[in-house]
Structure formats: C-alpha cells, structure tokens
Structure 1
Amino acid sequence: MKLGFHLGYWSSAPSDDERAAFSLAESLGYDSVWTAETYGSDCLTPLAWYGASTSTVKLGTNILQMSARTPAATAMAAMTLDHLSRGRFILGLGVSGPQVVEGWYGQPYPRPLARTIEYVELVRKFVRRDQPVSHNDGAFYQLPLQGGSGLGKPLRSMLHPLRPEIPIYLGAEGPKNIALAAEIADGWLPIFYSPRMDDFYRGALEEGFSKSGARRSLDDFDIAATVPIVIDDDIEKAADVVRPNIALYVGGMGAKEANFHNQVFVRMGYEAECARIQRLYLEGRKSEAIASVPLAMVEDVALVGSRDKIKEDLVRWEKTAVKTLLLQGLGYSSIEAVAELLA
C-alpha cells in the first residue's frame, strides 16, 4: 500500500505546522497529500499554498464539494492546479449531505447520484478541450443556459490542459455511491473504511466495475482510505484522540434523518451505539456522546495503540482492497514516526 497524509479541513483556524507537514511528508516518501472542505475553509487554497513548497508528492482534494462550484469552475481550478504542480493534481469530488448542500451552498440536494454523473461528465469535457462544450439536455446543468439572455454560446477553455485527463476520485459511503465511483471514476475516497467490511466494499465496487461503460477494474482503480492513526502504549488514551471525530460524524454531521456517516457504522453492527451517540450529540451533550464511542468502534476504522499493536493491525489492512492509506490525526510531529513504522 502507498502512504498518504490527509490534512483535512481547518476548524476555527489553521495550524502553523501545515507547510512543514507537506514538505516533511514529501521528504519521507509519502505518495500524496490531501486537503478537505466543509462549511469553512476551502480545499483548493491550502493545497496550492502549501503544495508550492513541494515538487514530487501528489496533491489531492478529499473532498471538493460539488455544490460549491459549477463543473466549469471545478475544471478551471483542476487545470490550473495541474499546471502549477506539473501534473501532480488529483481531483477528489463529493456530494456532501443535504444540511450543507442546501443550508450552506443554497443548492438542491435530491438525486445526488445522477447529479454526480452529469458533473463528472462535464468536468471531463472541459478538461479534454477537444471541442466547445455544449450540454443542452442536462437535468442539472445546461450549457449554454436555457432561458437566459440568449447570447450564450458553447465555449472551449482558453487554457490548454497539461493533461487531457486529470484523475477524478469520488468520496462515497453507501453501496450505490461506491458502485458509482467504480463505474465512472479513477479512484474511491472512503472516510470510514473497516477491514472487517472488506467483502461488502468489494461487492459494491464490483457492481460498478461490471457496468458496460466502466472505465477501470480493481487492478487499476485506486482506493485511498482515510485512516486515523495514534501511537500510544495506552490504547484508551490513543482512542480518545479519535473518539471526538467519530462522535461528530456519527452524531452531528448531518440531519438525524439523513446522516450517511452514521449509517456506515450501523452497517458495521453498531446500530444501538450510533443511536445513543446521535441522540446525545443532538441534545448538546457532546462530551457524553464522545465517551459513548466504544473502543471496538474506534479500532474498526483507525490504527491506535502501541507500535507493536499497530504493526499487527496493519496485517488486516494489507489484505483489503485499499491501495493507499491516507493517515490522519497524527499530529504533525508523528509523520516521521509513522513513516518508519509502516516502512
């Protein structure tokens, strides 16, 4: 497996160590570095700012939220960053959830899979630049716009792409979304991958690979899983670093009726635990919600504990379909220790 570093998104403010983290990850042979966004910091600006100090490591968005930008704006940013990085950019896309899509971006959420198909198709057309782009029969996007001034016309990017295709990865959690990633994308970005669920994930992926128009097979399709890792001889102390993030996603990142992160853990068998965590979180009892995350739930999706334990746990991951470990939650001083551990 390849090794990546997932910076994530900023909470209240950025860390002073982020530029150093990018450079250190590159110097230690990490394959990629990734940024994220939600309803705060964006993913493109930090990637360009910190990525400017690197020369070989791949630079990816995990994820760029589709509702934040039109397909044309996303294609422009992708081509620009691909040029600036000399062909190192990976475009990771995701739909987010209805709370963010409709509450923050003011865009409609329904039919996210169909919207994704159309969005990816248009981004590829813009990047390919083989002809002016027209898209008259789209369910979500029309180019030129129908019902406007009537003066719009199909256009082709003034910028020539460095590459006619930029790798596109999709963030996905449910089986239909995972199958769609396998069908139309170059990689999948799972946020809570459990080795115990590997057969389930392989089945969803195969559903997509089996479609007649699928671009790839499992052999040349990247699965870059975000995996928190905390090295500490006290396993409960290590798990305590990860528990707040799990509680946030299971309990508060999404509406009660539509929390897709919650359902990932329900499929793992934690239905009662998820219900309790969500109830406590939505009642404002966050510390209790965090304390309700059991150790087993943490160990399913993270690497926690002593160096020897993590070495043993890595055997499980090596047997999965995952091809890139995107390590997260390290504390920047741990990047070197993790590289040594996984060497």
Structure 2
Amino acid sequence: MVKLFNYLLADSHHEVPAVARRNEEIGFERLYVAETKQDPFMQLALAAQATEHVTLGTGITPAFARSPMVLAYSAWDLQKASRGRFILGLGTQVRGHNERRFSVPWSTPGPRLREVVEAIRAIWDCWQNGTRLDYQGEHYRFQLMTPMFDAGPIDHPFPKIELGGHNPKACALAGEISDGLNAHGIHTKRFLEENTVPAFLDGVEKSGRRPEEVELSAPAMMVVGGNSEEMSAHYETIRKQISFYGATRTYSPVFKLHGWKETYLELHALAAENTPASWEKMPSVVTDEQVETFAVVGTPEEIPDLLRAKYDGLVDRVSPYYADPMENPERWKAIARELNQG
C-alpha cells in the first residue's frame, strides 16, 4: 500500500526546525530536502535536531557537484545527528547544470554515478570497520585516510543510498546498486508501468535481491482543493510545472509515449526563445487532458483513494508535488493518517 512522505519547504534556515516538527506531527513517513536554492545538508542537520522519528533525506542532491569524500562525511554526520534516520539521495542532474551551474565536467553519467556510490560505501567501510581505504575507479580514486581525518564508527547502520532516475538506464542502475529509486515527478501511471518500474526491477534482479528489499518513491503531482477556487489555482500551478518539464529533452519520452510529441516540440521551442512572453505562453500549450494524466485531481477526501488507484503495486510512497501541506496541516494530517496508518 502506498505511503505518504513530504518535502521540507522553508525559505529561511530559522524556519526549518518548526517546519520539520510540523511535518512530523502531521504524520509524514519521510521528510526530504531537495537541492535547489539552499544546501540540503544544512537544512537536514537542523531538522534532525528538531525531530524524533521521521526519516530524513536528500531528494535529490547532484552527485557530481561534490567529491564522494565530501558526500560521505556529510551523510555520516547526518546519520549520527538523526540517530540512524538519514537517507542519502543522489542523482546525476542534467548536463547543462553540471557544466554551466556547477562547472563540473560531464562524462558517462551512469558509470560515474556507480563509482560515486561504490566510493562512498568504501569510505564508510573504512570508518566503520577499519578496512584499508583503496578504491580504484575510472573516475574516482581514494587511498588516503589517516587517523586525523578518520570519522570513526557510528552506532547505526550505513545510511541508505537512493538514486534519482527517469530514463531506463538510470532506473535500472538504482535497482542494481542502491537501496531505492526516487522517480521523477514528471510521470504518468502508464510511464511508470511501461518504463520506470520494469527497468528498476531489471536492476533489482541483476543485484540478486528481491523487490521487497528495495524501495521506489515518487513525487506525485496533485491538484487538491476544498472548493472550485482552490482547485483552479492548484490546477494552473500543475499546468505551469508540466510546461516547464515538458520543454526539456530529458523528459520528452513521457510525452512521446502518450502521443504528445508536438506538445514537447512546441514547449521546447518556446523555452529556447527564453523571453518573458515565451515563458508566459508555455502553460497554455498544456491541455486539461495532460494535466489530469500527470496529476491526481480531487477533493481532500478523494485523494487517498486516487493515490492508491494510481500508485499501489507500482511505488512504495509518494509525496505531494506542488501541493504545500503547510497551507492546510489538518487536511494533510487526515490524508497522511489514512495512507500511513490505514
């Protein structure tokens, strides 16, 4: 049965403890922080001190923007600070962001991400079990760990590692080497059934594990409202978000699967113009049919059953995507109670 988690949204670090506690009180199973405008590790350190039992994680942090050694230290510290509640969520990000936002060279993202995961676990094994650090890969090499820099053992298991993924190769890699896949929010039920889940399970089989030993999570686009005005506002928010992702070549397969190639091409052309007028026009390209294929649309009372109908048997947990539970905590407490305790 599908469970409900959430993403921590706070404009200021001073707000993080209170927002994290409120999410825990609502009853979300997990609380992730996306890497957008702020450092997720700093926010999660604050959330770890403010909460008691909710699982915390990065969802998703770009794997190549930091050395695996830096990621290993950050995750180790957060696993200690949270008393064993931390998940390290990693993803490749797209080429443009690596090269032009992080100034990181781009090369074979799949094999490189595999090495990031392997290297981090080798570093953790060195700290926890005293094994000699000797990781030799094509992209990363780690041999030096003196006592001064050895983080030492912790009283918890290694942090779980989840990988973000959208294309079949990324989903298969997550199934093969990680503890779970965090699928992208720009998906439909059909895309999950025909692309994401089969690729993920192929990777799980390759690893020699059973499907129940790994997890699949996904942000779920939701249009939730108690009245027509609220519903309409959320509907247009989702339409705008679909238009943003629909302009990106990486996410075109889901549009093409549904016969919406022309929508992708038009959105891509408008984004390439990169003018205020072109960005303003993009949401109008997305049809109501497309909104209702990507998103679940209903009243608060309908949402649990709608989520079960779309996701049961496909993913283990979903998060509200562009529906902010802090706007109506009591509503989401009822939804979380039904999904997470039902």
Task: Classify the secondary structure of the residue corresponding to 2:90.
Answer: strand
* TM-aligned CA distance change 1:54 to 1:190, over 3 Å: same
Q: May I ask how many residue pairs the two structures share in their alignment?
A: 322
Give, in whole Å, the separation in 1 of the partners of 2:243 and 2:13. 22
Is 1:202 aligned to 2:197, yes or no? Answer: yes
Cross-structure match for 1:45: 42
Cross-structure match for 1:340: 334
Task: Classify the secondary structure of the residue corresponding to 1:210.
Answer: helix
2:314 counterpart (309, 321, 328): 321
Letter in 1 for 2:76: M
User: Bigger CA drift: 85-94 or 158-167?
Assistant: 158-167
Cross-structure match for 1:63: 60
Cross-structure match for 1:298: 291
Letter in 1 for 2:261: E
Q: What whole-Å deviation, never above 9, does each CA across 1:267-318 have from its counterpart, x for those lacking one?
A: 3432211111221222221111022222232233333332355345224224
Identify unmatched segments of 5+ residues in structure 2: none
Task: Classify the secondary structure of the residue corresponding to 1:107.
Answer: coil
Letter in 1 for 2:193: D
Contact 1:273 / 1:293 at 8 angstroms: preserved in 2? yes
1:307 counterpart (277, 281, 300): 300
Letter in 2 for 1:265: F
Matched-pair identity in %: 25
Is 1:246 aligned to 2:242, yes or no? Answer: yes
Is 1:261 aligned to 2:240, yes or no? Answer: no
When the two structures are superposed, what TM-score results if normalisation uses the length of structure 1?
Answer: 0.86
Greater share of helix? 2
Q: What whole-Å deviation, never above 9, does each CA across 1:165-215 have from its counterpart, x for those lacking one?
A: 21110000001110110011111101223222332223212221221xx16
Alignment of 1:125-136 (within 5 A): 125-129=122-126, 130=129, 131-136=131-136
When the two structures are superposed, what TM-score results if normalisation uses the length of structure 2?
Answer: 0.86
Alignment of 1:81-96 (within 5 A): 81-96=78-93
Task: Classify the secondary structure of the residue corresponding to 1:128.
Answer: helix
Give, in whole Å, the separation in 1 of the partners of 2:285 and 2:16. 31
* TM-aligned CA distance change 1:238 to 1:104, over 3 Å: closer
Contact 2:169 / 2:199 at 8 angstroms: preserved in 1? yes
Alignment of 1:112-261 (within 5 A): 112-129=109-126, 130=129, 131-136=131-136, 138-144=137-143, 153-155=144-146, 157-192=150-185, 193-200=187-194, 201-211=196-206, 214=207, 216-232=209-225, 233-234=227-228, 235-251=231-247, 259-261=249-251
Contact 1:135 / 1:142 at 8 angstroms: preserved in 2? yes
User: Shift of the alpha carbon at 1:236?
Assistant: 4.1
User: Shift of the alpha carbon at 1:221?
Assistant: 1.3
Identify unmatched segments of 5+ residues in structure 1: 145-152
Contact 1:33 / 1:57 at 8 angstroms: preserved in 2? yes
Give, in whole Å, the separation in 2 of the partners of 1:16 and 1:305. 34
2:30 counterpart (21, 29, 32): 32
Task: Classify the secondary structure of the residue corresponding to 2:32.
Answer: strand
Letter in 2 for 1:241: T
Is 1:7 aligned to 2:8, yes or no? Answer: yes
Contact 1:59 / 1:90 at 8 angstroms: preserved in 2? yes
Give, in whole Å, the separation in 2 of the partners of 1:66 and 1:114. 12
User: Shift of the alpha carbon at 1:100?
Assistant: 0.8
User: Shift of the alpha carbon at 1:110?
Assistant: 1.9
Letter in 2 for 1:52: Q
Give, in whole Å, the separation in 2 of the partners of 1:143 and 1:230. 47
Give, in whole Å, the separation in 2 of the partners of 1:21 and 1:194. 30
Cross-structure match for 1:147: none
Contact 2:5 / 2:28 at 8 angstroms: preserved in 1? yes
Give, in whole Å, the separation in 2 of the partners of 1:264 and 1:170. 20
Give, in whole Å, the separation in 1 of the partners of 2:271 and 2:14. 30
Contact 1:94 / 1:171 at 8 angstroms: preserved in 2? yes
Letter in 2 for 1:297: Q
